[in-house]
Structure 1
Amino acid sequence: MPDALASRQPATHRVRADRPAPPRRDHLELGDPPGTPDAVEVTSRYLERAGRPWFPVTGEVHYSRIPRERWSEVLGHARAGGLDSVATYVFWQAHEPAPGDFRWDGNLDLRAFVELAGRHGLDVVVRMGPWGHGEARYGGFPDWLVARGLATRTNDPAYLELVRAFSAQTIAQLDGLTHVEGGPVVGAQMDNELYDQPEHLATLRTVAEERGLRVPLWTATGWGGAQVPATLLPLYSAYADGFWEDTDTEWPAFSPVHFRYSTVRDDLSVGADLREALDGIVVAPGAVPLKDDDALPYATCELGGGMHVAYHRRPLVTPDDVAALALAKLGSGSVWQGYYMYAGGTQRVGPHGTEQESHATGYPNDVPARTYDFGAPVGEHGQVRRHHHLLRRQHLWLQEDGAALAAMTTTVGGGSEDPSELRWSVRADGRRGYVFATTYQPARRPLSVQPGVQVEVELDDATVVVPSRPVDLPAGVSVAWPLRYPLADGLVLRSATAQLLTRIDGADGPDADGGEVVVLVATDGVPVELVLEGDVDATGPVEARAEDGATVLDLAAEPGADTVVGLPGARVLVLDEATANRLYRLDVGGRERLVLSDVPVQALDGALVVHTEAPHATVSLLPAPASLVVSTSDGTDAAYSDAASVDPVGGNGLWTSWTLSVPGAGRRQVAADLHPTAPAPPEPARGGPMDRLSAPTDFSGAARVHLDVPADALAGVDRALLRVAWTGDVSRALVGGEVVSDHFWHGRDWDVDLTPWRDDVVRDGLTLELLPWSAATGVWVDPSVRDVPDGITVASVDVVRVARVVLTAGEEPSWT
């Protein structure tokens, strides 16, 4: 295939992108009442807010699965990641463990979570159930409800009576916090993955409204051919892989579609096992329409931010998979990016034990009893992962130009199953737009380089060709190139082979007459070309030429933090991808600033909050404050490092930098190169309605590794994680006989948060119980990690010391 591709001749791909007709309005029972401040409306093509298109970016965060003292950290990372909203399940089993015994305390305090989200500048979508799934025991139903044998998830009067009571309790927690009341709650989801009961879904909204809930967005999950009533907005999903597939499925049937540009919104494979096993519903391909009509906008709520694992099947979704899928949905017309999960958590323990779905509770899958990490951008214990940075690049762009993108319609230019065909699309409004192209698919079915890529887009009053000369698009990349993007008054970027990140007012910085700083990111392996309409003077590392009434600028230097092109009224900063992954846009010291950081950062009430497992880091700001100083608090109860120091480095081009020293952060090795033997591992077993492999529950014959952890390895930092690099089958960590963490090995390291157990671990240590890998069992793992020997290998066990440092800024720019 690569040789055939290399021999192809370049060909210009052409498309016409006319100005779309105005969207339909007032045909949906959604939106705020007339006169509502900051009113939210839903048109047939996009959402609006305060009279202009709104492109929400939402991430799933489960408050009841995260320690309350960690909420602010997780929400801060979500906001720093470019999200403007979070979604959260309200698990009935957690809030009413016994009939009439409602709990809203501790990390079940929904009201406090919503208020804290608002403090971080985040809206909230409440997934109210009553059935939620979320890999929870009985889908979140309390055991006492299941025991009554009611016709649940229907309009059965006895069931609805209980639903009304639970709904009333939930809505009481949201009193005064809805959007119409000036609060952060903008939406409510009714049930979850309910496919054949549209009347019941409609009733759930009615029940909520009867109890006083008023929100502009009423939603339901629409995948799997779900029948969604007209009173709810269907939201869709897209996952790179799924633990719910069988062990003989190398890649789910619908997953390849999600890496192409397509008008297909539905996915019949997500949750198909539950439909079949629990509801007896089998949806055949072609039996339902996969594309909605023109009445509804294309909105998502479950783009896979990672993937959970089951015992029988353990996908290894990579950060690049997540980012490529998300960008493919933007190129396919999505106007609402919603991720599941955005932050992982820990399965609860309730009156009947751990509250995960399992064969024992009638589910097709056994999932871990404690961990719900999901391989998310923010992990179960606050670990910030690479896809947090990759997605933030997309979200910064949406913050800057999402209103324009939302109003653009999509034309899919090419991208069939044929891997030799260029996959590309255009989103445009007749005047300007974006060209999307991708050569990315997951490693098990990669794509090759696309030679001689060039796209010609005919707009209403101009034709734009990007790039001006064909370029080879490397394998494994996705791009979104701007067309006729306005840089400043009278200055238009006709096209670019770099992607828009963000822009910021640099008027109070050095070279104040340079205007705004517009930030682009180059794609590794793609030469950067900027095409400006008309005759434009440019300074900086570029080679200019006049062509077709435009000024073509070829970047003559490597992209990076100091690669600046000066233009009349604006400066264009062209970053490389590694630097772009370090870029944030945060409110620091009372104004929006660009922040380059080697370590994860977020902002809260004007302070810069740093989370680092590295003892040294560099932080750079644009525009820069007069100073950065280490503070002792940011008004939360979270711990901070009192040994940290920050020192100015000085100015370097646009940026002013500081070095951060955090002596307590880092790693301390506890053990390495262990090969324990399990004396009597249990025999493989099967169970559940689909007769899949069951997770072992008998650890009496497991290998046991006792670990003593020095007190000074756990003290003096905000969080101490035990990181275990190992291979095997299933593991558990026990402190004082209690299982505090578990792990189905699937290729990633296993992290155990020791912070809540510091005193116990220092006194008694902890024990790892490990069961061996046996390829003959038939568990599916990713091909990239499949070739491991039978048995148990523990390569290393480290304590990862994560420090938290709060930096506050001076008021005046450092150059005054």
Structure 2
Amino acid sequence: MSTTSPTPSPVEPGRTTPAAPSGPAAPAAPAGPAAPAARHLRVGRPKEPRRGHLALGEPEGTPDRIDVTSRSLERGGRPWFPVTGEIHYSRIDRERWDEVLGLARAGGLDTVATYVFWQAHEPRPGEFDWSGNLDLRAFIQLAAEHGLDVVVRMGPWAHGEARYGGFPDWLEELGLATRTNDPEYLTLVRRLFAEQAAQLVGLTHAEDGPVVGLQMDNELYDQPQHLATLRTIAEELGLRVPIWTATGWGGAQVPETLLPVYSAYGDGFWEETTTEWPEFAAFHYRYSPVRDDLSVGKDLRESLDGVLLDPDAVPLKDDEQLPYATCELGGGMHVAYHRRPLMTAADVTALSLAKLGSGSVWQGYYMYAGGTIRRGPWGTSQESHATGYPNDVPTLTYDFYAPIGEFGQLRPHFHALRLQNLWLALDGEALAAMTASVGGGSEDPAELRWAVRSDGERGYVFLTTYQPARRPVDGQESVQVTVELEGGPVTVPSRPVDLPAGVSVAWPIRYRLTDAVTLLSATAALVTRVGAPGASDVVVLAATDGVPAEVVLEGDVAVAGAGRVTREDGRTIVAIDEPGADCVVELPGVRLLVLDERTADALSVLDLGGAPRLVLTEAGAYARDGRLVLLSERATARVSLFPAAPGLVRAVAGEARDEPPRSIWTTLRVTFPGAGTTRLAEGLSLEAPRPPAPTRGGPLHRLSAPTDFTGAARLPIDLPVELVDGADRSLLRVTWTGDVGRAVIGETVVSDTFWHGRVWDVDLTRERDALARAKLVLELLPWRAETGVWVDPSVRDVPDGIHVDAVDVVRVGRAVLEVAPAD
């Protein structure tokens, strides 16, 4: 790898240090075939992981024992690959918890993480509130009903873009040495932790409950003794969990009693307006064993803590002794007033897959579901210049462009990440035991980026030509790599292929389909496996647009169904011309279903009618009590099920009618009551009579969010009651350009946004009673390029002023299908 990129260089045995990231890459050179030696890698059997050296895990003999080795987490004596998503219970209406957790499980999570915001639970000294959507215990119990484990991020400091990092105002006013072992501060922390311990009684893994981990504080860099003390306090209060964590990025000093967990973001609102792309962002799209990122939260370290880091002088943790665990892979990105990133779904999914290729054994997404920032006795609860922070963020929305949006919107990366997560559910146990080797790739956009994860016998080849549009990398011609395994070399693809720009893949090598049939390689992703009564299993593969799909089998294998078959060099090669829902390759004892990219994004695996089923639908889908719950903004949607269930499906809510069966599928057309979109206004240009002058504030003197809306443009919205009622949820969707927008009902601000290139959604259903008393009014301030706000280059060239392209009411319908068990 290039010496100018943040890749490891030796400083002492078992330690590495990241070099300072370089500036923008040079113009891309024409792509061409790489030398064969650059695409050849020998991998042996990894040495046994070290055990018993960490103050983590549970005693031998514990039921469903969770342990932590130097390579991975283990559960029940086998490697365990957790997939975790951050969901803030206190920022989501309690009546929506069930849906959000159901979607999270359907999205492939097996764990959720959640912050405990001190300010929400103890707004006044000694007066705790665990009611309503602050009911941590009820949230955890509901997660367990959905088959989800829980990691509680106990604080005391949380951040999460909350006022004072989640500290109550009264604590700030005491002037204590917070986040240290100051005795007065620890007395208050003990009181907070005691309240949390009471909430968790009977819910920890040691008590056969779902709580498997606790995080101590957050983003604390230079107080390892304090972090260790926090764990001690929690244990003294009776908390026993197998996994104790602390955030490890930014060169954090994490004590030996806590597992450092890492972050990776493709952009950051915390950067300056002069930063086109954060210095570490490009690194996250390459393969590397380096886990740290010195740019995440750098502004807080410098402005609040006075900590300045020299990138050349920050050693990483001992990578040989600790598993590569993450807790904040950017599931999207928040916005600040001065800087408003526009992460795409492809940005998110490519970064996530790059971490898998780099050796991650715990995928943790932040955020996985957006929410709404709470109000408190002090007013709004966001971090701001007024509370001494370097950033002004919106007062209410914490949508984060997460896979599940603030109001349950399902983003494209919800579906794309689900494919990765289904793969981990199928083969994560094996992947967790595999070590990562970087085959090639640097910051040079013309160099093939590839890596291998392997246990010496089998593995996966990772390749990527993806990097966000601000610094794209080249496509690659004549791609073919050879991996030397213990059983001999595997070359994939069977013949070189051109890999287009903008793709990331993970191809299986030597994957055993049955005792008699081995998938030697495939140029399609392994997704999942589902059985069918009285028939052979179906293994699902997902092809990549623009990449010829092939399946290579070891030996001479009988093949029927889809695909063109050739046999050479002791291999059976099946070329797939048309991947899709009906592309089934019949093999002895197993079937391969090879999906195209769009169809794969519509695939879920849900427990329905007492058995796992493949579900194909573009509607949102999750399982509850064995039933299929569907959500759609459109009036109808097609739903296909496998194993086929002819005559076994009935609609409990909504309507469903049979369509002609397709290949292996039972297909239905489902109708969603009330769903659809109604246009209220379009093509408006508005004048703000007296927009406020730009101001700056906070410790880094950044642009401040306007607080004076007396001179804003006002757009009253007429909302017939039938557009708010009669659907599962109604959203006001505003497509516009401008600077800042607020939705106001009477005197209450119910939603706000900083324009950054996306639509603005306002939940009308939660405001139904208020709308019966007063009209909703949009207060809008104009875009002025000269102000210097940073927005993504793809949306930067917009005219000054306020332009409303459309105002729509989007009504989300809900249908529920019951699938009877097959005989």
1:414 is matched with 440
1:114 & 1:361 partners in 2: Cα distance?
Answer: 31
Partner of 1:78: 104
Q: Does 1:329 align with 2:355?
A: yes
What one-letter code is carried by the residue in structure 1 that aligns with 2:568? E
1:210-229 correspondence runs (5 A): 210-229=236-255
Query: Which of 21, 24, 30 pairs up with 1:5?
Result: 30
Q: In structure 1, what is the equivalent of residue 744 of structure 2? A: 734
SS for the counterpart of 2:513 is strand
Cα offset for 1:675?
Answer: 1.1
* Number of the residue aligned with 1:541: 562
Determine helix, strand or coil for the equivalent of 2:61. coil
Please tell me the residue identity of whatever aligns with 2:634.
A
8 Å CA contact retained: 2:509, 2:521: yes
Alpha-carbon distance, 1:8 to partner: 4.1
Pair 664,431 (structure 1): closer, same or farther in 2 beyond 3 Å: same
Q: How many residues align?
A: 796
* CA offsets 1:449-507 (integer angstroms, 9 cap, x no match): 10011110001121101111111111100010000001111110011111101011123
Pick aligned residue for 1:574 from 579, 583, 594: 594
* Residue pair 2:670, 2:815 contacting (<8 A) in 1 also: no
* In structure 2, C-alpha distance between the alignment counterparts of 1:518 and 1:566, rounded to whole Å: 11
The secondary structure found in structure 2 opposite 1:485 is strand
Structure 2 runs not aligned, ≥5 long: 1-25
Question: What residue in structure 2 maps to residue 388 of structure 1?
Answer: 414
1:397 aligned to 2:423? yes
Residue in 1 that maps onto 2:322 = 296
Alpha carbons of structure 1 residues 7 and 64: separation in structure 2 relative to 1, 3 Å? closer
| CA displacement at 1:736 relative to structure 2 | 1.8
**Are the equivalent residues in 1 in contact too, given 2:357–2:453 (CA < 8 A)?**
yes
Q: CA shift at 1:670, angstroms?
A: 1.4
Q: Distance in 1 between matches of 2:667 and 2:715?
A: 45
Superposed counterparts of 1:587-736, under 5 Å: 587-625=607-645, 626-632=647-653, 644-736=654-746
Q: Distance in 2 between matches of 1:478 and 1:291?
A: 28
Q: Is the 8 A contact 1:489 1:569 kept in 2?
A: no
CA contact (8 A) 2:540 2:593 kept: yes
Matched, 1:63 2:77: no
Q: Deviations over 1:559-601 (max 9, x none)?
A: 0000011101110010000000000000011110000012110
Deviations 1:661-709 (A, max 9, x none): 1241011111111111100000000000000000000001100111110
* Amino acid in the other structure paired with 1:5: P
Q: SS of the residue aligned with 2:90?
A: helix
Residue 284 (str. 1) matches residue 310 (str. 2): yes
Structure 2 partner of 1:137: 163
Using the aligned pairs only, state the percent identity.
67
Matched, 1:375 2:401: yes
Deviation digits for residues 398-431 of structure 1 (CA, Å, limit 9, x no counterpart): 0000000000001001111111100000000000
Q: Secondary structure at the match of 1:229?
A: coil
Within a 5 Å distance, the mapping from 1:456-535 to structure 2 comes to 456-508=482-534, 512=535, 515-535=536-556
Distance apart, 1:160 and its partner CA:
0.2
Note if 1:89 corresponds to 2:115: yes
The answer to whether structure 1 residue 264 and structure 2 residue 293 are counterparts is no
| Equivalent residue, structure 2, for 1:795 | 805
Stretch of structure 1 that moved more, 8-17 or 260-269: 8-17
Deviation at 1:341, TM superposition (A): 0.2
Indicate conservation of the 8 Å contact 2:673/2:814, yes or no.
Answer: no
**2:753 matches 1:743:** yes
- Code of the residue aligned with 1:524 in structure 2: it is D
Q: Secondary structure at the match of 2:616?
A: strand
Per-residue CA deviations over 1:53-73 (Å, capped at 9, x if unaligned) read: 000000000000000000011
> Alignment partner of 1:761: what SS?
helix
Give the whole-Å Cα distance in 2 for the aligned partners of 1:780 and 1:389.
29
Q: Which runs of 5+ in 1 are unaligned?
A: 633-643
* SS of the residue 2:313 aligns to: coil
Question: Is contact 2:29–2:445 with CA below 8 Å preserved after alignment?
Answer: no
Measured in 1, the distance between the counterparts of 2:211 and 2:624 equals 20
- Residue aligned with 2:457, SS: coil
1:10 is displaced (CA, Å) by: 6.8
Q: Distance in 1 between matches of 2:433 and 2:533?
A: 30
How far the C-alpha of 1:764 sits from its partner, in A, is 2.7
- Once the two structures are superposed, residues 642-671 of structure 1 have per-residue CA deviations (whole angstroms, 9 ceiling, x without a partner) of xx2111114211101010012410111111
Aligned to 1:240: 266
Using the TM superposition, give the Cα deviation of residue 225 of structure 1 relative to its aligned residue in structure 2, in angstroms.
0.1
Among 792, 804, 807, the alignment partner of 2:814 is 804
Give 1:128's aligned amino acid: M
Which residue in the other structure is 1:639 paired with? none
What's the counterpart of residue 180 of structure 1? 206
Indicate the SS of the match to 1:651: coil
Paired with 1:109 and 1:760, the residues of 2 have a C-alpha distance of: 25
What does residue 41 of structure 1 align with? 67
Counterpart residue number, 1:101: 127
Are 1:21 and 2:47 counterparts? yes
Distance 1:812 1:768, change over 3 A: same
Q: Which amino acid aligns with 2:173?
A: A
How far apart are residue 763 of structure 1 and its match? 4.5
Deviations 1:739-776 (CA, angstroms, capped at 9, x unpaired): 00000000000000011211332453200000000000
Counterpart for residue 315 of structure 1: 341
Q: Which residue of 2 aligns with 1:635?
A: none
Distance in 2, Cα, partners of 1:786 & 1:489 = 56
Q: Secondary structure at the match of 1:83?
A: coil
TM-score, structure 2 as length reference: 0.96
2:452 equivalent among 426, 429, 433: 426
Query: C-alpha separation between the residues in 2 aligned to 1:538 and 1:404?
Result: 27
SS at 1:488 equivalent = coil
Structure 1 window deviating more from structure 2 (228-237 vs 523-532): it is 523-532
The residue type equivalent to 1:330 in the other structure is L
Is the 1:60–1:88 contact (alpha carbons within 8 Å) kept by the matching residues of 2?
Answer: yes
What secondary structure, in the 3-state scheme, does the structure 2 residue paired with 1:199 have?
Answer: helix
Q: CA shift at 1:811, angstroms? A: 2.1
- Check whether the contact 1:263–1:291 (CA below 8 A) recurs between aligned residues: no
- The one-letter code matched in structure 1 to 2:685 is H
* Counterpart for residue 571 of structure 2: 550
Corresponding residue of 1:562: 582
The alpha carbon displacement at 1:286 in A equals 1.2
CA distance in structure 2 between the aligned counterparts of 1:688 and 1:427, rounded to whole angstroms: 45
Matching residue's letter, 1:504: V
Q: Which moved more, 1:8-17 or 1:496-505?
A: 8-17
User: What CA distance in whole angstroms lies between the structure 2 residues aligned with 1:299 and 1:9?
Assistant: 33
Per-residue Cα deviation, 1:626-649 (whole angstroms, up to 9, x for no partner): 4222225xxxxxxxxxxx211111
2:541 partner letter: L
1:252 lines up with 2:278 in the alignment: yes
The 8 Å contact of residues 359 and 366 in structure 1, kept in 2 or not, is answered as yes
The answer as to whether partners of 1:265 and 1:292 remain within 8 angstroms in 2 is no
Please say if residues 679 and 702 of structure 1, whose CA atoms lie closer than 8 Å, have aligned partners that are also in contact. yes
Following superposition, the deviation at residue 287 of structure 1 comes to 1.2
Q: Secondary structure at the match of 2:619?
A: coil
8 Å CA contact 1:2–1:449 kept in 2: the answer is: no
What is the distance in 2 between the residues matched to 1:578 and 1:10?
A: 34
Is residue 708–residue 761 contact of structure 1 (8 Å, CA) maintained in 2?
no
**C-alpha distance in structure 1 between counterparts of 2:677 and 2:566, whole Å:** 52
CA distance in 2 between partners of 1:127 and 1:350 (Å): 21
Distance in 2 separating the partners of 1:792 and 1:390: 34
Give the whole-Å Cα distance in 1 for the aligned partners of 2:568 and 2:271.
53
How far the C-alpha of 1:7 sits from its partner, in A, is 4.8
Q: Return the TM-score normalized by structure 1.
A: 0.96
- Aligned counterpart in structure 1 of residue 788 of structure 2, from 778, 786, 789: 778
